[in-house]
Copies of this chain bind each other. A is one copy, B any other.
């Protein structure tokens, strides 16, 4: 029965199927499949011949059919808990962008592609895409999507240790407690007497762990906690909270801001109150943005190394997908990096400013 060539006339004229290749090469579809996938036992001559014919016909195997047959789609879901309507979160934006970039790159290197999906539980979208696994960034306590995916037997790896009893397959995170303690010690070493904190009102683990570490440090060294909390998803609220923190009667002489925009917010607030940085106020914030290298003055930042996290998350997830999870632990901790700049050093290395060369005094 030669229905291959004839009955396919109704399909896309530009797309050739495996049967067309088989007919053109004078072999069976089994041979074509084996030749192209490197399976079976075929002489090199046949293999080369089939590949040549396939190339000539512009044959591309149907991803849908392959997925249906093999059960593997090569797709990995990427989702971020969102605080608003947008699919991405606002606050950790530079972090997420870097992390997503590294994750995309790492996945691509192993033959997988990333699908951006909403954290909301929209069944119609989630169930319409065949996933091999999912990356969840900063999952909330009882994320219904995560539970559903795990229930379906899909591996789920989270960026950020899961809160509560979220049944993720594995997670990758920083040691936020150690990072905060390191910063506070760094500020104290630079001469800070009263260190304030700009934190969030959200209940995610990052905010929680960092704030707890701050409070414990304060207790240890005998300092009264000085902090302001604000809803981290509101960009304006950060500026207001920074202003409030510096307007307090017990004004801190050093501040650590947990979120990316806090550096500029605090800098602007300091200017308003006539505080010089770092002479009157030491500043550190957690950020991946490069703008803090060229602010006036440059601001010391804590990098959570999103590139490394994104890469690690993907490696762990794909290992789980391919059944290579072996004996390594399913919990991975990535070290943070403190990028020390002028804003946290009481004695800044006076940079010599080159004199302005004015060619024609204006």
Interface residues of chain A, those whose CB is within 8 Å of chain B, are 12, 14-15, 58, 60-68, 73-75, 85-88, 93, 97, 100-101, 104-105, 108, 111-118, 122-125, 127-130, 151-153, 235, 247, 249, 251, 253, 261, 264-265, 267-268, 271-275, 280, 289-291, 294-296, 353-359, 362
Residues of B within 8 Å of A73, CB to CB, are 63-64, 129
The residue from B75, B93, B122, B354 contacting A115, defined by CB atoms under 8 A apart: B75
The residue from B87, B97, B253 contacting A93, defined by CB atoms under 8 A apart: B97
CA distance A128 to B132 in the complex (A): 13
Contact B117 A113, beta carbon cutoff 8 Å: yes
The smallest C-beta distance from A99 to any residue of chain B, in angstroms, reads 12
CA distance A254 to B322 in the complex (A): 57
CA distance A151 to B60 in the complex (A): 12
Residues of B within 8 Å of A85, CB to CB, are 105
Q: How many copies does the complex hold?
A: 2
Residues of B within 8 Å of A354, CB to CB, are 272-273
Contact A74 B130, beta carbon cutoff 8 Å: no
Contact A113 B129, beta carbon cutoff 8 Å: yes
* Additional A-B contacts beyond A63-B129, A115-B115 (4; CB < 8 A): A88-B97, A108-B125, A113-B115, A113-B116
The residue from B65, B88, B101, B358 contacting A87, defined by CB atoms under 8 A apart: B101
Contact A12 B152, beta carbon cutoff 8 Å: yes
CA distance A357 to B74 in the complex (A): 52
Residue of B nearest to A87 (CB): B104
Contact B273 A74, beta carbon cutoff 8 Å: no
CA distance A153 to B173 in the complex (A): 43
